Structure 1
Amino acid sequence: MAMITTTSIYVLGFIGLMIYTAIVIANKQLCFIFGDVSDGIEYLIICGCALAASIPSVLLLFAIYKQKQILRIQSYQVICIVFETVLLVVCVVAVSLPHSKNWGPLIEPRGNGASITWWTQIKQISSLCVEGKLYYQSDDSSTKIAGNCQYVPTYKTNNHNLLIPSVQFTFQLFDDNFTFSNVVKEDVSFFVTSDILSSRQYLQKNVEGTQQYDIHVSAGDTIQHYSNKDMFKLLSNPDQLKFLQAVGEQDAKSALQEFNYLQQVHGVCFYFVSAFDEHSQMTTASIEIAIQFLEREIYSYSGIKFIVSHQPVYSTGEHGANPQFSIAMQSFLDRHEDSNIMAVFGGRDHVFSSYQKDGVYFFNTGGSGSRLTNVFETSEMKNRTWKANRLDGPQPSDQRLNFGGEFHLLSLLQHTRVEVNVSKSGVGYVIKNIETGKVESTFAQDIKKPRFWGPIVSPYENGANITWWTRDPVKTSVCIDGKLYYGTNNMHETQTLEDCSLEPAVEKLYFHSIFVDRQQFDAVVEGKEIHFDNRPKDSVKFIITSDAHEMTPIIRRSIQNMEDFDFHICGGDQTYWSTAIEYDLAFPNWHQKPFCQCQGNHEAYATRRPVKQRDTTFHQQINGVHFFSVFIFNESDIAATDDLKVNESIAWLDANIPLHNGPKYILTHYPMYSTGGFGSYPLYTAQLEQLIDKYANNQILAVISGHDHIFAAFKRNNIFTFVAASGGGVLSKVNDLETMGDISRVWNGTELHGPIKSDTKWSMNYENHLDSYLKFTRTEVQFGSGRVKYVVRDLESWDVLVEYEQEY
């Protein structure tokens, strides 16, 4: 056996020790020694080096044993042996410890709900109990719903993601309680960062003192590699803040989210666009796709808007402006100066810079967390070097990267975040140094909101109710044929003066509602012409929608070509909470045709309405067609039916239907029959069936409803029943067993046709089912010569899905 010298062993041990120490120091996270890491990479490296460093100790002990030289061991030899033995013990102990902690949740608003994401070190069931229902993740990563929280799913995973389709809810995770809310409100606050690049230190500095904000918006590259390690660094401490971000260069590599998308948060709309493709390259095609998205969607919402893009429009940083992108963006903004775009946020360049052109602010927020750009280095700045840590005022230059320099306001070589406060009066921007907490600068702008929304013209008894809103308070008045109708925001307080030149003695208001006691009149409200004529006609055309839930993109499509129709019937839930600002979102560029809406469960919040509206139960004749509206919900609980109201509604119908001659429709937000999750309410449906059978010869043509967010059609004894609630709200989860309550009711696609077999209590009259669609729709009705034609149209493709005919 070859002689092993103790000197060589000491050298090997020393080298191993140095390697181990270097790894620990480079890692800068001593907790990783004990397994407190994200994806185990550093853990494995450290343990491997510790094991390698222990090998010389083992060889030394073996040599000593063979040569029997224990008594000649020097003190430094003892230290070497002891230290390396300790390293070996640490490595062995670390193996038994968990490699990482849990992280999350990441709460991201999505449509009319929220995406909740978290990670666990041990595979667990992905589930959250929300409002008495269990939302859980299936093996195809989709979200399923169980009817109660006692249900026990079987699929387990480390990576958890659930989509909760509600604008307000609470949930518990990791023994903490979280609240999500995305209801529309007048005052909204958020802060903007960018390019934190997995720096936990700077993320914590950015979120300090932000509990009062509604959302954290990022212009991209918050995470560097999208590994569990990066997510752990940033999300190991639970946070109540909602989060949204644009796709940055690093994010594009992972392709974990949409490159171009929009999201409304509390009534403020954010448009996230990416100039980068999936390879993190800025191309002509990717820029064109981003601009096309903006062109297509910019008028989908009527409220305040912000654009967020990782590539800045203008910048004094290293990358500077990309002229192709900057020109395209500026051209888009010039074309849509009336679109309420307040600011464009960017990132990428690791500095703060601000610009203003034509009333729109441009902020580069890339100095939020990563290494700041060396703006004094010519090689980095390409002859655009700064002369100080701060640039003020215009920076004109013929450099292509300094595009837009004449619009420059302020640039800072500091770690900053932008705090934004949106109110009725305007938008305020605060530029804060996250190192010192000092406010470096502030900016303000007035809100460029429309002068008014409306007017909404609602047939009311033998006249019409006109409702509208104005940006500035004015007196509520309308001149009709030389007569002045004036009042307040309550139609029942309408008064008249015989001369339109007289000044009514009423206060100035934002919300206006008057009643005109005439079946036919012409009027002008804020420049919008109203031609109201509710006299009987031989033929009429009208549309039916329901459950828009202020989803403006779908609302805009649903009222297209209204000039071809006589009036508009709504099955309820045009808004979600009936607040003033929701009316601003739900009625942008509204038509002036008569609009008649039955009350939905979300309109039950009568005290929140900005204007006084009619009773929950009413009869209304429109152009000779009779509509009877009833309401069976508990007004203190928007989700619950009320048996007392069921009985009252049936009794009211029984008393009023015989009083009127002509074609009749029953409007009821809760469906009589439905293939959706709510289905039939047996007590209500049974009584409605008896009532309709009783008046079979009284020209009842159909029952129109909403509530279940689908389209469904049934026909019983030549009377149709329509569920028309796919007018904008989140479509129902009809493919989910727990949502539907019974396997016989679960859809296997997006359409159902013909009779269906099901004997559950929710499945009444399934033998007379015609068609159901999981699509956004409107129903067009053509009336005349004793015949009715119903045309169901897909609001996204504009295709006709199905047609029905009926004689009366």
Structure 2
Amino acid sequence: MQSEYLISGQKVNKLTLWWCIILQAVTSCSLLAISIYSFIQYYQLGYLLNVAIIAIVSFAISILFPILMLVWSKSKQIQSNRIDKVHKSIKYSMMTLILFSTAILIGTIVYTILTMSSIVDKLYYGPLAFIHEDSTRIHWATFQENISGKNAYNEEIYDSTDFDYKLKGFKQQYSYKLPETINRFIVMTDIHLNNHYISTMSTDYDYAVLCGDYSYHGLMSEFAEGLLGMPTKPLLMAKGNHDDYSDEFIQLNGRQNNYFQKVRNTGFYFIYVQDKDPIVDERVDSGIQFIADNIHLGTGLEHIFIVVHYPVYSTGEFGSYQYFTKKMENLIQNHPELKVRATFSGHDHLFAAFKNGAQYFFVNGAGGGSIDQMTDASYGDRKWPAEELHGALPIVAENDYGYEHHQDSWMKFTRTEVNFEQGKIVYNIRDLDTNQILVSYQQPV
């Protein structure tokens, strides 16, 4: 007589039960295959790993439970004329297994759909315009091209700092002309995937300077997410320590770690220093040597700025690193022919301003990461529970080096706006939450 099983109080034959198991297994395998393919095809999209993990768990549960159920039921298999005598605990256990497995499967489908929908939105980013020597490099991403198997990350080079173009995947026509006289540029740092403040940014500036840490793992997908909504104004970017976890930042920025860029009558030295350890000493030496070897590139320009992720001075968690700070001080002192106006940095998630001689040194405030509150005892002598600090500070630890040059510090999300006015540069520090200017610094030139 044909074997039957008691499931939810109903007599189910063996063939029907197997079809249920096969259908569930095929569905789970399909989801798993889609997730793995997506992860391989779009390897830059690190967060697809979450989908793959969920699918694997779902696959394991949806396969394991029915198999256990089948084995269990097989051991309890009886003839149909005696099936009603199977113990009720077996019936409810089998029913629970099926319901739980089905719930996992449905949850995975919903999660996958929502995640993939989110990815589609985040892959529409750009265009990002990078200033190069007498040219502009346009970088953008579109989801359709990725679906077709092509690289979603695209670029075009325009042999001019003026451009007028329409990109595939974008309905809007873009145009920009870099003014002959620069009036304002802005500085932001440590976005860390949070594009909230970028998406609300006004466009009353000529170009933007970013000091690193747009990502957490250096993935192109994270740059896409963090820079989503960036106004179509030209960019200059430094690499942060989080951006160094892969080589994809080089692909995005189109530069090496250390480089020089002239923008009209202004020059920028970008160097890469990420933290303090023996490897960083090599990077410090490399960055300082790069500037020393390329002094001629900035000589004669009206304004010079240095951009580096690790701060020269800071009241933040990491503070100053004397090996780096003293080399930077000596470089500026030994090359008066360079009209260094300021150094911009990030890394410590706060705003801090220092002035040593005629030069300003800014930690530019997080543009979207978290704020370092620094009230925990683990910070020791470096903790300061106040929301702001002003004036010179006492040096109480080695990484407080340079505190005598301190001007102001705030525990806020900020942006630095650099305005060129007649005979002076004005640095406005804007609170990104209130849109109010916290403080202005004037630098005669």
Q: TM-score normalised to the size of structure 2?
A: 0.72
2:187 paired with 1:550: no
Which residue in the other structure is 2:174 paired with? 530
Distance 2:223 2:118 in 1: 21
Distance 2:405 2:172 in 1: 45
Distance 1:428 1:550 in 2: 19
- Contact conserved, 1:702 with 1:722, CA < 8 A, in 2? yes
| Structure 1 residues 374-393: aligned runs within 5 Å | none
State the Cα distance separating 1:460 from its structure 2 match. 1.4
| Structure 1 residues 601-640: aligned runs within 5 Å | 601-609=241-249, 611-612=251-252, 613-633=254-274
- Contact conserved, 1:714 with 1:720, CA < 8 A, in 2? yes
2:163 paired with 1:471: no
CA displacement, residues 652-688 of structure 1 (integer Å, 9 cap, x when unaligned): 1112234322201000111000000111111110010
Which residue in the other structure is 1:541 paired with? 184
Which residue in the other structure is 1:656 paired with? 294
State the Cα distance separating 1:779 from its structure 2 match. 0.9
Which of 210, 214, 220 lines up with 1:574 in the alignment?
214
State the Cα distance separating 1:210 from its structure 2 match. 5.8
- Contact conserved, 1:536 with 1:622, CA < 8 A, in 2? no
Distance 1:534 1:446 in 2: 34
Which residue in the other structure is 1:462 paired with? 134
Over 3 Å counting, the alpha-carbon distance change for 1:738 and 1:422 in structure 2 is same
SS at match of 2:369: coil
CA displacement, residues 376-398 of structure 1 (integer Å, 9 cap, x when unaligned): xxxxxxxxxxxxxxxxxxxxxxx
- Greater Rg, structure 1 or structure 2? 1
State the Cα distance separating 1:642 from its structure 2 match. 1.5
SS at match of 1:757: coil
State the Cα distance separating 1:567 from its structure 2 match. 0.7
Over 3 Å counting, the alpha-carbon distance change for 1:448 and 1:752 in structure 2 is same
CA displacement, residues 533-578 of structure 1 (integer Å, 9 cap, x when unaligned): 34641x4111110001011223324xx112x111111011111112
2:331 paired with 1:691: yes
2:113 paired with 1:427: yes
Over 3 Å counting, the alpha-carbon distance change for 1:446 and 1:604 in structure 2 is closer
Which residue in the other structure is 1:750 paired with? 387
Over 3 Å counting, the alpha-carbon distance change for 1:428 and 1:552 in structure 2 is closer
CA displacement, residues 168-204 of structure 1 (integer Å, 9 cap, x when unaligned): xxxxxxxxxxxxxxx9512434999xxxxxxxxxxxx
CA displacement, residues 12-57 of structure 1 (integer Å, 9 cap, x when unaligned): xxxxxxxxxxxxxxxxxxxxxxxxxxxxxxxxxxxxxxxxxxxxxx
Distance 1:451 1:682 in 2: 41
SS at match of 1:644: helix
State the Cα distance separating 1:738 from its structure 2 match. 1.8
Which residue in the other structure is 1:328 paired with? none
Over 3 Å counting, the alpha-carbon distance change for 1:590 and 1:428 in structure 2 is closer
Q: Which structure dedicates a bigger proportion of its chain to helix? A: 2
SS at match of 1:599: coil
State the Cα distance separating 1:448 from its structure 2 match. 5.7
State the Cα distance separating 1:211 from its structure 2 match. 9.9
Which of 479, 491, 513 lines up with 2:155 in the alignment?
513
Distance 2:320 2:266 in 1: 26
2:421 paired with 1:784: yes
Distance 1:451 1:680 in 2: 37
Which residue in the other structure is 1:273 paired with? none
Which residue in the other structure is 1:310 paired with? none
CA displacement, residues 706-728 of structure 1 (integer Å, 9 cap, x when unaligned): 11111000001110000014111
**Aligned residue-pair number:** 356
SS at match of 1:427: helix
| Structure 1 residues 109-258: aligned runs within 5 Å | 184-189=46-51
Which residue in the other structure is 2:228 paired with? 588
Over 3 Å counting, the alpha-carbon distance change for 1:653 and 1:186 in structure 2 is same
Over 3 Å counting, the alpha-carbon distance change for 1:473 and 1:415 in structure 2 is closer
Identity of aligned residues (%): 29
Which residue in the other structure is 2:441 paired with? 804
State the Cα distance separating 1:691 from its structure 2 match. 0.7
CA displacement, residues 460-483 of structure 1 (integer Å, 9 cap, x when unaligned): 1221111000111189xxxxxxxx
Q: TM-score normalised to the size of structure 1?
A: 0.41
Which of 316, 341, 354 lines up with 1:701 in the alignment?
341
Q: Which structure dedicates a bigger proportion of its chain to strand? A: 1
2:409 paired with 1:765: no
